[in-house]
Each structure stands twice: as C-alpha cells, then as structure tokens.
Amino acid sequence: MIANKLVLVVDDDQEIRELLEEYLTKQGFQVVTAEDGVAMKREMTISEPDLILLDIMLPGEDGFELCQHVRKTSDVPIIMLTAVSDEMDQIVGLELGADDYIAKPFSPRQLMARMKAVMRRVKSSGPQPDISQQALPKAFLFDRWRLDTASQMLQDIQTQRSYEMTNSDYALLLLFLSRPNEVLDRDTIFYATRGRDAQPSERAVDVQLSRLRQRLGDKGRQQRLIKTVRGNGYLFNADVSYETKD
C-alpha cells in the first residue's frame, strides 16, 4: 500500500520537514516538502501527491485556506497538523475538506497509524464513479445557480462567477438535482459519491455536505436548499429546470 505513494509535507518548520521526510522515506514513501502555500502550489503543479500533511499555522495563506484551495479541484487525502488539540480547529479543518487531523507533538507511530487509516479509506472507496453524460441535460438551473454538465462548472447566475467542482462534489450535487424534494439517506449519498456504503464512524458525508452548503451559500441554522431530515437523511429543497442539448 505504501510503495511508490507520494506524500507532500507542508510545514514552515525546517526541522519538522526534515524529520518527517527522513522518517517517511524509511517507511517506504516518496516525500516532497514545502515551507508555505506558494511552495505547496508549485509542488502540486509538478506532481500529484497521494496524501498531504498540512500544517495549519503557516506564513501567508494558512492551512485552512490551502485546504480549501486544494478541495476546489482535488480529492487528495489531507491530514491537518495542529499545534494544539483545539476542537474548533479540528471541526473547521474537517468542514473545509480535511480527512483527519493530528496534534503536535505526535509520535511517528501515531502519525503512521493515521496515514494508513486515511489511505485505507481512500483505497476501499475505489475510483470515483463515472458519471455518464448520456441522458443528462446541458445544464441544471436551480435557485441562483447553473450547473454545466459538460464542464462540471457551477455558475452563480447573479454574479456570473464560475467555480470548479471536484468529482465527488459534482456527483453529490448531481444526485440532489436528479432527485429534488426527495429524502436521500446517507448510504445513497455515499454510494453516489464514493461507490460504496458509508461506515458508521465515517464523517465524509457530513464534511462533503458542509462543503457543498458553503459553496451554495446555504449556511447557518436555517438551510434553504439542503435540509436535514433528522433520522432519515437529506432533502434538496429547490425547483429544478433544465437546459437541453442542441
């Protein structure tokens, strides 16, 4: 599982970067490092990491901002490195798309266990389901949004701004748009976005729903679009129309 896996370590502390690079290399990983967001983005244009260890406290863009940046285009697993075991930092990181977190100082064994657990989850979920373009309209229209099914771009009709979506976020929104005003349980959502049923302890559905709500501006206690039906699942509360293909 570890052989040939590439880990990107992002931390402004040179000693920590060097220690992690030495340890992870001995464990069979390939390792690249970055001291800040600029270097991280540069590394990601050169290679595609299989996992990112991302420190929260960084000069310039912090780990939260960088996690959000990565999640716009990639589902690569991210483990946040926190200086203190702060519950709010952990919650924010998970809601922005991180897969796990670990508080400093941590033991090498603890880090390795977390990394293996995250990579097992990714492996068991398999490749993202292929969303067939057949029988799909050119675009879905709902609320103030337009989802283009060819480019998978989400456009705010009011501002004309467009946003790229990851495969799993696009699959989730497409599921809701295909079945509006219908209660969908967690297993249905997880299977549509990950290709399998959810495990009881997994928070991936919660994290992904939070991320989609944030993108749609559907935040706060009174969600308008994605409603939680306690004990049953989630309901997409919107009138949906379509643009047909030529």
- pLDDT, one tens digit per residue, over 186-210 is 878 877 776 554 454 456 677 778 8
Judgement on whether residues 120 and 143 belong to the same structural domain of the protein? no
Judgement on whether residues 56 and 121 belong to the same structural domain of the protein? yes
End-to-end CA distance of the chain: 46
Answer with the residue of higher pLDDT: 115 or 206.
115
Judgement on whether residues 117 and 16 belong to the same structural domain of the protein? yes
pTM exceeds 0.75 = no
pLDDT of residue 3: 63
Task: Lowest mean pLDDT of 51-65, 88-102, 135-149, 159-173, name the range.
Answer: 88-102
Strand, helix or coil for residue 149: coil
Q: What single string gives the DSSP state of each residue in 144-166?
A: TEEEETTTTEEEETTT--EEE--
Q: How many domains would you assign to the chain?
A: 2
If you average pLDDT over residues 13-32, what whole number do you get?
A: 93
Question: Per-residue pLDDT for 21 more than 70?
Answer: yes
CATH code (residue 107): 3.40.50.2300
Highest mean pLDDT among 10-24, 66-80, 112-126: 10-24
Q: Which residue is listed with tokens 């930092």?
A: 89
Other CB atoms within 10 A of residue 47 CB: 11
pLDDT of residue 16: 93
**Distance from C-alpha of 97 to C-alpha of 75, rounded to nearest angstrom:** 9
Which helix (DSSP H) or strand (DSSP E) does residue 25 occupy?
helix 14-26
Last-in-domain residue among 125, 154, 189: 125
Judgement on whether residues 107 and 20 belong to the same structural domain of the protein? yes
Average pLDDT, the chain: 83
pLDDT of residue 126: 47
**Distance from C-alpha of 78 to C-alpha of 235, rounded to nearest angstrom:** 28
Q: Which residue is listed with tokens 């990639």?
A: 74
Strand, helix or coil for residue 59: coil
Question: Per-residue pLDDT for 164 more than 80?
Answer: yes
Judgement on whether residues 18 and 108 belong to the same structural domain of the protein? yes
